[in-house]
Amino acid sequence: MTIDEIKEKVNGQEYEFLKNDEHLGSNIILLGLGGSYGMSIEGKSDVNIRGVSLNSKEEILLGQEQREPPISEFYELLHELEKRMAYDEKNTSLPERPDYKNINEFRMDINERIVTGK
């Protein structure tokens, strides 16, 4: 799977919630790759996106740091990603050296899109 294919996947319907959820969107500060691609395993193409988001300015200023539970699609995606991770753990091994260049290019592209709102 190429960087462009991963970018296309992240921009697809499956990950639309990253942009549309009020608690994610512009509050995302970090996205990273997991799965076999994130571990630079040749011949595999599953992609797991992991991330971190902050509370919004309003939530912090108003002391509303308790968030509502994530939407059901989140749990469905999480369950699917956990199944993939369990499969990967049993059926793959880490390379001696991850492909840091491709990983960092992908992270920078995603983070740039989030910051610029593209």
Q: What is the pLDDT of residues 28-38, one digit of tens each?
A: 887 777 766 55
Q: Residue 106: what pLDDT?
A: 92
In the block, residue with structure tokens 């593209």: 118
In terms of C-beta distances under 8 Å and separation of at least 24 residues, what long-range contacts does 4-13 make, across chains too? 5/45, 6/33, 6/37, 6/47, 6/106, 7/106, 7/109, 7/110, 9/47, 10/49, 10/110
Q: Residue 105: what pLDDT?
A: 92
> Is residue 40 predicted with pLDDT exceeding 80?
no
Tell me the pLDDT tens digit for each residue of 48-104. 777 777 777 777 777 776 556 666 777 788 888 889 888 888 888 877 888 889 899
- Distance between CA 20 and CA 34 in Å, rounded? 22
